[in-house]
Structure 1
């Protein structure tokens, strides 16, 4: 399973979001710092879930990072839009 699919699966399991968009932006960073050549280094996530909406911004980011677990060290850049 590729990293995008793993991100989606883990966030669905953790938060049952009303909205979830995961975009692989790695192609935009080819040749830049953090590009490991896999095409799976840069991601943008937009997630809307009731559980997250009740948290502070910092707690939302921590919760998503926890849910992604061992994927986080494999991702060079992760842009989060959480609500």
Structure 2
């Protein structure tokens, strides 16, 4: 039996068989997005367990209803967020329409340049917070000695 490791995705390091899958919907999402968008980064998070107690999910036998996707691709260049999301929704239309299919889909769609800018912004914000923390430590008032 052929086995492989999925790296860089939500099931990073999880060994799985190509003969059958416990996550057929996730596998279909991954295959379609790879084929359509050739992403530099694709992260798929199955958040279904967080929503299993919701009334709308009562009686559902599916363990694949709520997904969160992060897609970094050049295919999104010169497109606004709504257009990017429409592209993904159109691609996954069948998976969303089928019984016990995708109930909720959260998307984060970026170009590689947008991702780089976001990472730089995150690093700058973290540095600024560290500097503010250090300044507040050095500016704490020293209690006057009682005497």
Q: Same fold (TM over 0.5)?
A: yes
**TM (normalized to structure 1)?**
0.91
Match of 2:105 in 1: 78
Structure 1 or 2, whichever has the larger Rg, is 2
Aligned to 1:28: 50
Q: Is the contact made by 1:34 and 1:76 (CA closer than 8 Å) also made in structure 2?
A: no
Q: Find the aligned partners of 1:59 and 1:77 in 2 and give their Cα distance.
A: 18
Alignment of 1:7 with 2:34, yes or no, is no
- Structure 1 segments, 4+ long, off by >3 Å, are none
Matched, 1:55 2:82: no
TM-score, structure 2 normalization: 0.53
Shift of 1:55: 0.7
Segments of 5+ residues of structure 1 without an aligned counterpart are: none
Moved more, 66-75 or 12-21: 66-75
1:26-83 deviation per Cα after TM superposition (whole angstroms, max 9, x unaligned): 0111121442231111000000100113211110001011111301222111000011
| Higher RCO (CA-CA < 8 Å; seq separation 6+) | 1
CA–CA distance in structure 2, aligned partners of residues 76 and 40 of structure 1: 9
What's the C-alpha RMSD, in Å, of the aligned pairs?
Answer: 1.3
The number of residues matched between the two structures is 83
